[in-house]
């Protein structure tokens, strides 16, 4: 395991924020910037959210919107040499951004664990699957190898790998894609983590296997009552899994709220765009998809004002060119539902119900 | 076809395909019994010890102007199929006919004139463009290779193509790394369109792209088809994208086509259990439907290895309706409804093809545990309705179907498993 350190740029935290007493994980104004030869990349630029035990937060956005960087930031997996991390990450009452890297390492794997997108590159090809799970277990538990092995077999069985006592000695390349993803889930869950971050856990898998894996994550969450963060670009997957939703664009949240209200009454043009871009099996066949024009911006030169303004069809509606000069903040648009847009709420409601929703 | 005005490529004198073949519904590409086995060699002498049966006997045709979608899980042979019909791979068996001409075993030289008519768009826009060539060279390459001199010169034509696919013609001298994924995919499309092909085979054209960009490229393919009268074979694993773009859809499983139907029938009333399972697995972007989990059919385990595919029906190891006949006899791809071909002994939404065979295999009983009762009941109902209609028809015509149904009624007594009763109930009530 590589030694990971953290830039202690965050203000020394004294006490947990009072408004998130019941939240298991609470992230406040997280910023992660990278120094590169081309300039400062603001991958994450002010993200706040809470996750409670037993709940699932879905983070959606296109590639480069900062979803994965956010999750790695929560796990404390950015190296100080390149990354500047600031803000606060509270995990069960403990602040992590300013914490000693050794302390964070003791939490990682035990209290919080991660499932990566590509299990083939996330697992070590030289060691058997069993060895890797055993290592993960023994790092946090003082047990004999034999006991740890028993635990590994038990976990493989739990995630639905057939003949776990044989497969435990298999190498990652001997597993199929779905089986590898299961093995990685077993590895992530071996210490019963209370926070599980799944970064595109099913993107590389076929739909039938995806359904199996999502089912598995859901069952395990029910069993262990963990808090889950589900990062994906697939709105279908989040709709299926998430209780709450965070939509990110260019390193910032543009909409946040309970999944049901974000899907039924989205209040940000980018969310409308995402919904319009995807063909849907549950609706009547549409003639044309409604794409978002242009491409996501470079994170070195994020457009001024609202980062979405060059691609937004409604950028000219608010007066005084405000979309291009002032960055909109998240404002409450419904119960627990927040969106960052300059348009009036009535205006957005009207556009959604009259123009967007009928075409979906 | 009205593509002459849209793309001004001079008549290709060298083309051997001079038959005038306009008109809808005409078959452009016909594939029969197509096979591709990749040999597995082992040992010092590299003796062949087995074969990966990537594509194992498929039949279909592509009609002029239509879009045929091909779906299936990874490893089902859909990409190999794409490479076979574009003749990037040499088929092991079967025939590929393009415009009535057998191109199965044409040599490289003989294939060259055909390459104008059949083009391919690749999945990965990062590896399918040579990083050391400019966009102008890449998109202009087909003209050079085919010795075609477009009106106004290659450069002008390339710039026109760039604007057709929505790129700035001034990007002529740029290199691929200067473009985003979506733009690169457009470059690949421009290259494929350069010689005004008749058939474009697109292998996962949008799966590497972000959702918003995906929609742009799907719309572009749509527009180009309308403008240039193209025929597409679109290979993809995303069922919602395939439904959006295709007129007809082929579902593949382990090197075989299990169902081939027009879009409407396939998505509203799939007949092969695999198609049904595949579609039920697609997550629906609507949190309100989350409670309705019963619709989902979970398949057990993974796709079996194509080195030693299961006997009989290849899906029988994961199917909840499998009976003895599925293990022993391979179901033929039959046109059960007009425009809907399916290879199954016990199809959904239709009367049973093997109603006398009712005892489920033990794997099927296990698989049925993962299928909600509602789904089983529903499929039994729909098959019952179809069977009833068929029985009426056959009573009038005194066809053997009615006998089959009564046989099934007798066979019901033999059925022991509750799941099997569910399935067979439908066929005789």
Which chain B residues touch A293 with a CB distance below 8 Å? 216
Shortest alpha-carbon distance between residue B342 and chain A (Å)? 20
Put simply, the answer to whether A281 touches B282 (Cβ < 8 Å) is yes
Which 3 state secondary structure label does DSSP give B413?
coil
On the question of pLDDT at B180 being above 90, the answer is no
Residues B208 and B332 in one domain: no
Q: Which residue has the higher pLDDT, B54 or A10?
A: B54
Task: Note whether B197 contacts A: Cβ–Cβ < 8 A.
Answer: no
Which chain B residues touch A179 with a CB distance below 8 Å? 302
Range 24-43 of B in CB contact (< 8 A) with A: none
Select from B237, B243, B283 the Cβ nearest to the Cβ of A236. B283
pLDDT tens-digit series, residues B204-232: 898 888 888 888 999 999 999 999 999 99
> Nearest residue on chain B to A208, judged by CA atoms?
B281
Strand A39-51 relative to strand A56-60: parallel, antiparallel, unpaired? Answer: unpaired
Enclosing domain of residue A313:
268-359
Range 225-244 of B in CB contact (< 8 A) with A: 237, 239-241, 243-244
Enclosing domain of residue B80:
3-251
Domain contains A188: yes
Task: Note whether B182 contacts A: Cβ–Cβ < 8 A.
Answer: yes
Buried b (16+ CB within 10 A) or exposed e, A53-81: bebbbbbbbbebbbbbbbbbbbbbbbeee
Domain contains A82: no
Put simply, the answer to whether A207 touches B278 (Cβ < 8 Å) is yes
End residue of a domain, out of B202, B223, B251: B251
For residue B325, count CB atoms less than 10 angstroms from its CB and return exposed for 0-12, middle for 13-18, buried for 19 or more: buried
The neighbour count for residue B39, using CB atoms within 10 Å, is 12
pLDDT at site B259: 95
Residues B234 and B383 in one domain: no
Nearest to A276 by CA among A175, B343, A268: A268
Task: Note whether B356 contacts A: Cβ–Cβ < 8 A.
Answer: no
Put simply, the answer to whether A206 touches B73 (Cβ < 8 Å) is yes
On the question of pLDDT at B292 being above 80, the answer is no
Mean pLDDT, residues B347-363: 81
Whole-angstrom CA distances from B323 to A48, A88, B339 are 55, 59, 27
Residues B270 and B175 in one domain: no
Select from B182, B218, B296 the Cβ nearest to the Cβ of A295. B182
Select from A208, A277, A293 the Cβ nearest to the Cβ of B73. A208
Domain contains A108: no
Residues B271 and B413 in one domain: yes
- Residue of B286, B369, B371, B375 to mutate, interface with A, max A Cβ within 10 Å: B286
Quick check: ipTM above 0.85?
no
- Residue of B275, B285, B315, B369 to mutate, interface with A, max A Cβ within 10 Å: B285
The beta strands (E) that lie in chain A are given as 25-36, 39-51, 56-60, 83-91, 94-95, 112-115, 195-199, 227-232, 244-249, 252-258, 331-334, 337-339
End residue of a domain, out of B251, B270, B304: B251
pLDDT tens-digit series, residues B306-333: 889 999 999 999 998 889 899 999 999 9
pLDDT at site A17: 43
Which chain A residues touch B280 with a CB distance below 8 Å? 211
C-alpha A263/C-alpha A260 separation (Å) is: 5
Which 3 state secondary structure label does DSSP give B74?
coil
Which chain A residues touch B239 with a CB distance below 8 Å? 207, 281
Q: Which residue has the higher pLDDT, A5 or B261?
A: B261
Shortest alpha-carbon distance between residue A178 and chain B (Å)? 7
Put simply, the answer to whether A236 touches B284 (Cβ < 8 Å) is yes
Shortest alpha-carbon distance between residue B235 and chain A (Å)? 14
Q: Which residue has the higher pLDDT, A99 or B9?
A: A99
Number of domains composing chain A = 2
Torsion of CA B181, B65, B143, B216, to 10 degrees: -20
Residues B51 and B82 in one domain: yes
Shortest alpha-carbon distance between residue A258 and chain B (Å)? 10
Shortest alpha-carbon distance between residue A288 and chain B (Å)? 7
Put simply, the answer to whether B214 touches A277 (Cβ < 8 Å) is yes
Shortest alpha-carbon distance between residue A150 and chain B (Å)? 23
C-alpha A94/C-alpha A88 separation (Å) is: 10
> Nearest residue on chain B to A215, judged by CA atoms?
B298
Name every residue whose Cβ is closer than 8 Å to that of residue A2 and which is 6 or more positions away in sequence.
none
Domain contains A258: no
Select from A239, A288, A293 the Cβ nearest to the Cβ of B286. A239
pLDDT at site B55: 94
Rg over CA atoms, chain B: 24
Residues B193 and B49 in one domain: yes
Domain contains A16: no
Which chain B residues touch A278 with a CB distance below 8 Å? 211, 214-215, 240, 285
What CATH number is given to the structural domain containing B164? 3.40.50.300
* % of residues, chain B, pLDDT over 70: 80
pLDDT at site B414: 44
Put simply, the answer to whether B243 touches A208 (Cβ < 8 Å) is no
Put simply, the answer to whether B283 touches A237 (Cβ < 8 Å) is yes
Nearest to A247 by CA among A267, A227, A218: A267
- Residue of A279, A282, A288, A292 to mutate, interface with B, max B Cβ within 10 Å: A279
C-alpha A19/C-alpha A32 separation (Å) is: 23
Which chain A residues touch B218 with a CB distance below 8 Å? 279, 289
Residues B88 and B13 in one domain: yes
Q: Taking CB atoms and an 8 Å cut-off, how many pairs form between chains A and B?
A: 129
Select from A234, A259, A290 the Cβ nearest to the Cβ of B287. A259
On the question of pLDDT at B27 being above 80, the answer is yes
On the question of pLDDT at B400 being above 80, the answer is no
Domain contains A8: no
pLDDT at site A4: 40
Put simply, the answer to whether A278 touches B240 (Cβ < 8 Å) is yes
Confidence band of B396 (pLDDT split at 50, 70, 90): low
Residues B401 and B353 in one domain: yes
Residues B81 and B121 in one domain: yes
Strand B199-203 relative to strand B231-235: parallel, antiparallel, unpaired? Answer: parallel
pLDDT at site B427: 42
End residue of a domain, out of A172, A192, A212: A192
Residue B168 tokens read as 């700035």
- Residue of B79, B211, B267 to mutate, interface with A, max A Cβ within 10 Å: B211
DSSP A175-186: S-HHHHHHHHHH
Shortest alpha-carbon distance between residue B252 and chain A (Å)? 13
pLDDT at site A224: 85
Put simply, the answer to whether B215 touches A263 (Cβ < 8 Å) is no
Domain contains A114: no
On the question of pLDDT at B153 being above 80, the answer is yes
Select from B215, B222, B278 the Cβ nearest to the Cβ of A290. B215
Low-confidence ranges of chain A (pLDDT < 50): 1-20
Put simply, the answer to whether B267 touches A209 (Cβ < 8 Å) is no
Select from B211, B284, B298 the Cβ nearest to the Cβ of A277. B211
End residue of a domain, out of A142, A172, A192: A192
Shortest alpha-carbon distance between residue B249 and chain A (Å)? 15
Residues B235 and B328 in one domain: no
Residues B415 and B320 in one domain: yes
pLDDT at site B131: 93
End residue of a domain, out of A192, A215, A250: A192
End residue of a domain, out of B251, B275, B303: B251
C-alpha A132/C-alpha B53 separation (Å) is: 34
Which chain B residues touch A62 with a CB distance below 8 Å? 210-213
Put simply, the answer to whether B218 touches A289 (Cβ < 8 Å) is yes
Residues B230 and B299 in one domain: no
Task: Note whether B366 contacts A: Cβ–Cβ < 8 A.
Answer: no
Select from B183, B218, B287 the Cβ nearest to the Cβ of A239. B287
Task: Note whether B299 contacts A: Cβ–Cβ < 8 A.
Answer: yes
Shortest alpha-carbon distance between residue A357 and chain B (Å)? 13
Put simply, the answer to whether B239 touches A281 (Cβ < 8 Å) is yes
pLDDT at site A358: 86
Put simply, the answer to whether A290 touches B180 (Cβ < 8 Å) is no
Number of domains composing chain B = 2
Domain contains A316: yes
Cα distance between the two ends of chain A: 47
């Amino acid at each position: 395991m590589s030694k990971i350190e953290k830039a202690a740029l965050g203000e020394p935290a004294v006490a947990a924020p009072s408004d998130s007493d019941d939240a298991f994980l609470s992230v406040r104004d997280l910023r992660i910037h990278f120094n590169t030869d081309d300039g400062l990349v603001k991958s994450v630029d002010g993200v706040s959210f809470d996750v409670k035990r037993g709940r699932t937060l879905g983070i959606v956005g296109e590639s480069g919107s900062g979803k994965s960087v956010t999750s790695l930031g929560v796990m404390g997996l950015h190296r100080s040499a390149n990354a500047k991390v600031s803000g606060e990450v509270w995990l069960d009452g403990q602040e992590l951004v300013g914490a000693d890297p050794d302390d964070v390492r003791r939490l990682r794997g035990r209290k919080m664990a991660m499932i990566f997108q590509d299990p083939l590159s996330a697992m070590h090809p030289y060691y058997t699957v069993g060895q890797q799970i055993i290592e993960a277990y023994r790092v946090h538990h003082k047990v004999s190898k034999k006991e740890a092995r028993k635990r590994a077999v038990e976990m493989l069985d739990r995630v639905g790998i057939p003949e776990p006592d044989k497969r435990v000695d298999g190498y990652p390349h001997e597993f199929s894609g779905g089986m590898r993803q299961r093995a990685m889930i077993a590895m992530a869950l071996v210490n019963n983590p209370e926070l599980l971050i799944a970064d595109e856990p099913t993107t590389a898998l076929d739909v039938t296997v995806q359904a199996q894996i999502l089912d598995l994550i859901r069952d395990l969450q029910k069993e262990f009552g963990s808090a889950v963060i589900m990062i994906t670009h697939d709105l279908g997957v989040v709709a299926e899994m998430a209780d709450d939703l965070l939509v990110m664009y260019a390193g910032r949240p543009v909409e946040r709220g309970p999944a049901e209200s974000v899907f039924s009454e989205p209040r940000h043009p980018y969310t409308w765009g995402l919904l319009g871009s995807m063909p849907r099996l549950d609706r009547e066949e549409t003639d044309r998809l409604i794409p978002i024009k242009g491409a996501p911006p470079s994170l070195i030169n994020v457009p001024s004002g609202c980062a979405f303004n060059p691609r937004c069809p409604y950028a000219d509606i608010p007066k005084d060119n405000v979309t291009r000069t002032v960055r909109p903040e998240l404002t409450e648009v419904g119960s627990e539902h927040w969106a960052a847009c300059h348009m009036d709420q009535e205006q957005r409601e009207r556009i959604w119900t009259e123009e967007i929703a009928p075409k979906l | 076809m009205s593509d002459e005005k849209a793309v001004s490529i001079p008549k290709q004198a060298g083309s051997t395909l001079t038959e005038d073949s306009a008109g809808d519904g005409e078959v452009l590409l016909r594939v029969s019994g197509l096979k591709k086995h990749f040999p597995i060699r082992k040992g010092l002498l590299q003796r062949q010890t087995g074969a990966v049966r990537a594509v194992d006997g498929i039949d279909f045709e592509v009609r002029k102007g239509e879009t045929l979608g091909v779906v299936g899980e990874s490893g089902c042979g859909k990409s190999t199929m794409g490479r076979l019909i574009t003749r990037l791979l040499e088929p092991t068996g079967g025939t590929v006919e393009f415009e009535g001409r057998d191109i199965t075993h044409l040599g490289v030289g003989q294939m060259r004139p055909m390459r104008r008519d059949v083009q391919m768009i690749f999945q990965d826009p990062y590896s399918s463009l040579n990083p050391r060539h400019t966009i102008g060279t890449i998109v202009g390459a087909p003209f050079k290779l085919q010795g075609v001199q477009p009106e106004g010169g290659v450069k002008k034509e390339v710039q026109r193509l760039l604007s057709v696919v929505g790129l700035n013609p001034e990007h002529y001298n740029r290199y691929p790394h200067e473009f985003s994924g979506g733009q690169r995919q457009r470059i690949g499309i421009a290259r494929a369109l350069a010689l005004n092909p008749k058939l474009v085979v697109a292998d996962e054209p949008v799966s590497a792209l972000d959702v918003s960009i995906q929609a742009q490229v799907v719309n572009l393919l749509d527009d180009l088809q309308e403008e240039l009268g193209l025929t597409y074979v679109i290979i993809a694993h995303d069922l919602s994208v395939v439904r959006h773009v295709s007129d007809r859809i082929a579902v593949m499983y382990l090197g075989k086509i299990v169902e081939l139907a027009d879009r409407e029938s396939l998505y509203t009333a799939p007949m092969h259990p695999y198609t049904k399972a595949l579609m039920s697995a697609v997550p629906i972007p609507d949190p309100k439907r989350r409670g309705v989990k019963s619709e989902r059919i979970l398949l057990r385990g993974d796709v079996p290895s194509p080195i030693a595919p299961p006997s009989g029906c290849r899906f029988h190891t994961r199917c909840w309706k499998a009976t003895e006949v599925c293990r022993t006899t391979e179901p033929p791809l039959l046109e059960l409804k007009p425009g809907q071909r399916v290879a199954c002994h016990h199809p959904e939404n239709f009367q049973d093809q093997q109603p006398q065979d009712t005892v489920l295999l033990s794997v099927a009983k296990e698989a049925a545990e993962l299928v909600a009762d509602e789904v089983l009941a529903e499929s039994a109902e729909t098959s019952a309705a179809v069977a009833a209609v068929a029985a009426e028809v056959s009573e009038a015509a005194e066809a053997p179907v009615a006998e089959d149904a009564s046989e099934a009624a007798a066979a019901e007594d033999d059925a022991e498993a509750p799941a099997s009763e569910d399935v067979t109930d439908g066929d005789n009530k």
